[in-house]
Structure 1
Amino acid sequence: MPVYQLNNEIVFPPPHLAEEEGLLAVGGDLSIDRLLLAYSMGIFPWYDEGDPILWWSPAPRMIIRPEEFAPSKSLQRSLKKGLFHFSMDTAFEEVIHRCAKIPRTGQENTWITTDMIDAYIALHHAGYAHSVETWVGDKLVGGLYGLSLGSCFFGESMFSLQTDASKAAFSILARTLASWDFTLIDCQLHNPHLESLGAYTVPREVFTAQLNAGLHATTRMGPWTAMFQHTVAE
């Protein structure tokens, strides 16, 4: 399959035309409109600093439905200790910068480039991108961020400075999204950490059907801070 060269027009080729490893297109920009179109089609950017923007739509796709999430016994024990407390959308910029800087096995450079950081901060200010923060006292020890459209959440990255801090953030995310009637968390690519949280892979046609169904729901715009606090209080 050819890799499509994007220009200034905000369009993408059909995702099923992606190469075997998932690469679909190159070029374009990281404007809010282009990113929203990309995610609504199951496409996301992923590239190294200094390289052209690469757009991916892998198959199979790793997902989890929020209501299916079941924390492991060890995570349940960790949560019951009451060491952590949580928030949403109170430290988005710190979370994304932490995600960019955290060392990762097998990765020399971060794919969360300067332009990506700026783009997702813009999405956050526009009400589409959100973060979950894990705190010990007043110290941010873990978290994650992603994008919300309809009843779908597209996870981007997470970080942890303390055992179980990112897993706890994911647990809070899944529990909260389930209570808000979200139907899909897109985890994008397979990795063992996400698999340990209950994520699994599905064929492209299954992912696309769930994505399209979820996009019919009204997008819950941010910030989610007060909505999360209200949900926790219920």
Structure 2
Amino acid sequence: MTIYRLFDQPVFPDPEESDPDGLLAIGGDLSPRRLVTAYSLGIFPWYAEGSPILWWTPDPRLALIPSELHVPKSLRRVLNSGTFRLTLDTAFARVIRACAQTKRPNQEGTWIVPDMVLAYEKLHSLGIAHSAEVWRDGELVGGLYGVALGGAFFGESMFHAEPNASKALFVTLVRWLQSRGCELIDCQQTTAHMLRFGARELPRKAFLERLRKALRSDALTAPWGLETGI
């Protein structure tokens, strides 16, 4: 299986040409133009510090259709308690850095390396990358960030500093995205956590078909803004 090397032009090979693990290409840069091109093709960067940039397109692909969101009974009480406050795009820099510092099971270090942080902060300044924050008593206790194109949202990472904070945040954000007309949420890697919320694995071909349809919408292109109790 050929792994393609990228150069100056922000172009990618056919996602169907990736290796069995989903690795498609190596190299290139993290410019806004290349990142937008990648996401629109169902490709995302993921690599460790000291490694060249690696570009992935897994098969199958974990995704959540917003209308299929499942809310566990144990979380409904939290959502109705008014314990947390949710905001959008008020602390992007803090959220992405907290995600980078969060230790993950079976993971050494972080893939959110300094160059990734700078690249996504640039996307945020362009209105393409967004954050959702959850607060308690004025303290940031959870958050997530991702990329929005058309009617699709590509979740990148989340963190929590308090039990249930990120879960309540995720459910509230999905409901808000659905209200805005979002058709597809990309979860990238399969995890039991996301499966519990109704995400399911899609064959790459089916995922890309849904993505192409979602990109024909402009549902998520308007400025984001929300503050609500959860």
2:3 maps to a residue whose letter is V
* 1:26-37 correspondence runs (5 A): 26-37=26-37
Match of 2:116 in 1: 116
Q: CA deviation at 1:76?
A: 0.8
For residues 8 and 219 of structure 1, the distance between their equivalents in structure 2, rounded to whole angstroms, comes to 31
Match of 2:191 in 1: 191
> Secondary structure at 1:13's aligned position in 2?
coil
When structure 1 is superposed on structure 2, of 196-205 and 130-139 the one drifting more is 196-205
Ranges of 4+ aligned residues in structure 1 off by more than 4 Å? none
Match of 2:107 in 1: 107
Match of 1:17 in 2: 17
Match of 2:163 in 1: 163
How much identity, in percent, do the aligned residues show? Answer: 49
Q: How many residues get paired? A: 229
Contact 2:150 2:221 in 1 (8 A): no
Gaps of 5+ in 2: none
Q: TM-score, structure 2 length as denominator?
A: 0.97
For residues 163 and 195 of structure 2, the distance between their equivalents in structure 1, rounded to whole angstroms, comes to 17
RMSD across aligned C-alpha pairs, in angstroms?
A: 1.3
Match of 2:136 in 1: 136
Match of 2:45 in 1: 45
Gaps of 5+ in 1: none
Q: TM-score, structure 1 length as denominator?
A: 0.95
For residues 22 and 102 of structure 1, the distance between their equivalents in structure 2, rounded to whole angstroms, comes to 25
> Residues 88-115 of structure 1, C-alpha deviation per residue, up to 9 Å, x if partnerless?
0000110000000011111111000000
Contact 1:128 1:222 in 2 (8 A): no
Match of 2:80 in 1: 80
For residues 60 and 155 of structure 1, the distance between their equivalents in structure 2, rounded to whole angstroms, comes to 16
Q: CA deviation at 1:169?
A: 1.2
1:124 maps to a residue whose letter is H
Q: CA deviation at 1:79?
A: 1.4
